[in-house]
Amino acid sequence: MPRDLDVVIWGATGYTGELAVAYLLGDESRIRSFPCEQPAAPADLRWAVAGRSRSKLEALGAGVETIVCDADDKAGIEAFVKRARVVIGFAGPFQKYSDQVVEACAKYGTHWCDITGEIIWTRSLIDRFGDRARANGACIVNLCGYDSIPSDLGTLFAINALRSRAEYPLSPIRSVVNYQMGLEGGGGGSLQTMLVGMTEPMQLSGGVDRADPFLLGGEPAGGAREEDRPMKDAYFDAALDSWIGPFIMQGVNPLAVRRSSALLEYGSQFNYREVTACRNEEEAQRSVKFVNAPARPEELRRMIEEGKLPQPGEGPSPEARALARFQSTLVACNEAGESVTVTVTGAEVAYEETAKMAVEAGLALVYEGASCPGVVSGGGFLTPAACMGTVLIQRLHRAGIRFDVVSDAARRPAAEYAGEAIARFWAAEE
């Protein structure tokens, strides 16, 4: 069918959606943590902004078509989805505000990228619309923001680097450990997503364990192992010279990477672990408390009402975003005992770089679809690594999110490289 739009930004007036529009426009007044002097949107890009409020859409000043549509307007959703090659989703909580859009994309063969971290919703989509998406050639790619591109593409980059440097390049990948740093500040939209997940859980197919660490696939031969379970305690890693704690997104990012492992065949015993590298023991113990004793829904609502936590549509100030940086330090090892250390680095990641990641994922499908493995293989529910792969790594690297190999020919222990990379990050923050 003819498509007169390349991209539709769904949820364009939300906190991150506005940043995505600013990135496409090259609006330096809104993007503060990285240079944004030129529009990310090529001159020939045919794009539109979509959301519930015409006045808010027009206030964006995007100079493109505005599409007014509610999340439950099935006819309206199908009308714009049929016109688009790619829809990029920023409207969360996604299970409430984007479910029908994904269904329409699967139905009409329109590609979809989003910034969700809602793993249960993602699994539900696969169960309900997976066959339809593949039959119609739609690439449905959830988790295209900080959840989970640095983890997912960082792992792919590390594995490719190891295979290109290894004496035994065909040796299966045994493990990847990701030391995360620099996630700062939370927004009202993320809090609302947490609340919806706690109080309005999605229903899955009978017999599916919601807590399964392989909910999206990738279970190793022999079943789940202890090292596949979420981390609960902090410890001091002498090799890294750093305190290590549980990472806030360990219930999301590892599941995305494991799905990539299943789709890309990293290794039958592949293990991915994600932790946070901390400045000191106090910081590490705070991460333990956060993952083991999260706030109750009623407590979160009270704090939002009292102004102690952000309202929907609110997030870190521009000044706070301007100072933020992130780094993922990944160590990949193969069954032959060879290893490589890489880093993924960038600016404020929870919102500004997340907006960039999702936009670049969509643009990859528009302009480089013929080189994207997921498009070539016929679509379906894919991860960023399995769908766009190195195409997206290269786009993001050119856009300022750096993917670097930090090992050298001396072949020192991987932990030494990782420890040095972690130390450099903290030194730059001081």
Kindly state whether residues 339 and 204 are assigned to the same domain.
Answer: yes
- pLDDT value at position 410? 56
- pLDDT value at position 17? 97
Task: Return all residues near 183 (Cβ < 8 A) that are at least 6 apart.
Answer: 146, 248, 249, 326, 349, 350
Concatenated DSSP letters for 328-346?
A: EEEEEEETTS-EEEEEEEE
- pLDDT value at position 312? 81
pLDDT digits (tens, 9 = 90+) for 377-395: 999 999 999 999 999 999 9
- pLDDT value at position 361? 98
pLDDT digits (tens, 9 = 90+) for 325-336: 999 999 999 999
Q: Residue written as tokens 């493990």?
A: 175
389 domain-assigned: no
Kindly state whether residues 78 and 182 are assigned to the same domain.
Answer: no
Per the document, the length of the chain is 430
Taking every pair of Cα atoms in the chain, the longest distance, rounded to a whole number of angstroms, is 61
Q: Could you give the CA distance from residue 218 to residue 271 in angstroms, rounded to a whole number?
A: 10
Kindly state whether residues 310 and 178 are assigned to the same domain.
Answer: yes
* Under-50 pLDDT residues of the chain: none
Say what the pTM is.
0.96
168 domain-assigned: yes
Kindly state whether residues 194 and 335 are assigned to the same domain.
Answer: yes
Kindly state whether residues 153 and 141 are assigned to the same domain.
Answer: no
- CATH no. for residue 114? 3.40.50.720
Closest CA to 82 of 168, 176, 8, 153: 8
Residue 78: give the domain boundaries: 5-145+354-382
- pLDDT value at position 409? 55
Angle, CA 268 vertex, CA 263 and CA 274 arms, to 5°: 75
Domain count for the chain: 2
